[in-house]
Structure 1
Amino acid sequence: MNKHSEWVSKESNQLILSSLKNTVLEYLAGKNEPGDPELISQAFHTEYNRLLSENRNWVEDEQSEFHLHFMALLLAGYKEILKVSTQEEALAVLKKAAIDSVKDDIQQGVRYALDYANDPMRVLVEASKEREEMFFGRTFTFARICDDEERYHLHVQKCFYHRFAVYHSVTELMNILCEWDWIWAGAIDPERHGFRFSLPTTLGYGNDVCRFYFERAGDCQCGMDLPSEQE
């Protein structure tokens, strides 16, 4: 990944990982007896490193190196939280760790980019295309179903996160992962920016593909499968 991108950076990826790890450890420390933070951290990191070691075969490129670290942190945190709390609470903590901790900063950056763009939809569409290569990489498969001046329909046919969750029998974690796209999408104001976004189906919720629909506000058919979209 030698190309520069304003939409992808090692610094932002590291912030995501750090926020996830720190939030989980803070929660675990609060659920255990005072005086044993080192033991809590050790148990978490032992599981995290085990997951990294045993799943190295999932790494195909630099991008999937990040995906593996993210999922190993998420799954390690999930397993450790389940030792001291309920599944519902575990998912709530992980949502806070993976989404809420970075949501405001990401939305602010996307909103700023859209507010000052001559063509906000085109800016976000080009960002999506750029991230296919520079963030997602070879462990994701994309199909651009429709790409013109009025609409951009993208199908995600293969997703590292979904396959990893299925393989480890933790598909409930997709409730968090499928919410990730609504972080940046929450910055879109159809009236101000002139387009709408919808995500009517996802692999994580049991559908055949993830459908990402960007459409001009005046010609919005979000959430529909049009005849021209048949694969």
Structure 2
Amino acid sequence: MLNNIIQKSFFKGLRQKVGEEQTKDAQKLFVEILEENKAWATDKPTEFNLIFTSMVLAAFRILKKYQYTDWEEIIRYCLMERTKKKQQFFMKLYLFFDRKPLKRIVKISKTKQVKHYGSQNFTHHIVKDTNQSFHLHVKKCFFFDFFCKHDALEIMPIFCSMDDIWGDLLLPHKHGVQFQRPQLLSKGDDHCSFKFDRTDAK
């Protein structure tokens, strides 16, 4: 159900940007990519992530085929910009009621590690977990490995920036938490680093 909703939303955005013909080409290619790479889906979380990445890879290849120089802007629109305000609305609401959100952020992160990513195609190393800080390293990332395998690492910065949808809303002076990502696989580092630190700690 969720997969269908996300696909419809993504391709609706693509249709708005490039028209019906190119969108149909991308949808057809998406099915082919998904079938060719079904062996990647070794657990339940990756079944969803494979659909997600195959959809984006298909759009990327079609946009390149038709020589869209603004392909990155188009994919960002399809993935994020169309729904960014709605997603941020709920995050803002949550932050309004929870002025010291570190504890909840940590709980959400640990839950997502299992439900959204799994342990077979992602590795999550918690390097610090205290009342003041939560630091997480991701050394193996399905998204990075998938796009690397398909010669499309240009897409990775877009995926990484999806965290900014909610990350940009965390204001240290207001919410007492600072969010940083000093290392990213997409920037050539050997891991992604997610750092949450209380700024109001005493």
Query: TM-score, length-normalised on structure 2?
Result: 0.92
> Which 10-residue stretch deviates more, 205-214 or 13-22?
13-22
- Percent same amino acid at aligned positions? 27
Q: Which runs of 5+ in 2 are unaligned?
A: none
Match of 1:184 among 131, 148, 166: 166
Larger radius of gyration: 1
- Aligned residues: CA RMSD: 1.7
Match of 2:105 among 124, 131, 136: 124
Aligned partners of 2:194, 2:6: CA distance in 1, in Å? 23
Aligned partners of 1:24, 1:133: CA distance in 2, in Å? 31
Structure 2 partner of 1:34: none
Aligned partners of 1:125, 1:107: CA distance in 2, in Å? 19
Deviation string 1:127-158 (CA, Å, 9 cap, x unpaired) is 11111111111321100000000100000111
The letter for the 2-side match of 1:23 is G
Secondary structure at the counterpart of residue 118 of structure 2? helix
Measured after TM superposition, the shift of residue 42 of structure 1 is 3.5
Aligned partners of 2:4, 2:97: CA distance in 1, in Å? 27
Q: Pairwise mapping of residues 206-217 of structure 1 onto structure 2 (< 5 A)?
A: 206-217=188-199
Structure 2 partner of 1:115: 96
Measured after TM superposition, the shift of residue 15 of structure 1 is 4.3
Match of 1:134 among 111, 115, 137: 115
Query: Are 1:21 and 2:11 counterparts?
Result: yes
Query: TM-score, length-normalised on structure 1?
Result: 0.81
Query: Are 1:85 and 2:67 counterparts?
Result: yes
Deviation string 1:161-198 (CA, Å, 9 cap, x unpaired) is 00001000110001211101111112212122111101
The letter for the 2-side match of 1:47 is L
CA contact (8 A) 1:202 1:209 kept: yes
Aligned partners of 1:54, 1:170: CA distance in 2, in Å? 16
Aligned partners of 1:28, 1:80: CA distance in 2, in Å? 10
Q: Which runs of 5+ in 1 are unaligned?
A: 1-9, 30-36, 220-231
Aligned partners of 2:39, 2:81: CA distance in 1, in Å? 30
The letter for the 2-side match of 1:56 is K
Deviation string 1:57-104 (CA, Å, 9 cap, x unpaired) is 110122111111111110111111122233x41111001111212221
Match of 1:97 among 67, 72, 78: 78
Match of 2:187 among 205, 213, 222: 205
Aligned partners of 1:94, 1:52: CA distance in 2, in Å? 18
Secondary structure at the counterpart of residue 57 of structure 1? helix
Aligned partners of 1:61, 1:75: CA distance in 2, in Å? 21
CA contact (8 A) 1:114 1:123 kept: no
Question: Where has structure 1 moved over 6 Å in runs of 4 or more?
Answer: none
Structure 2 partner of 1:33: none
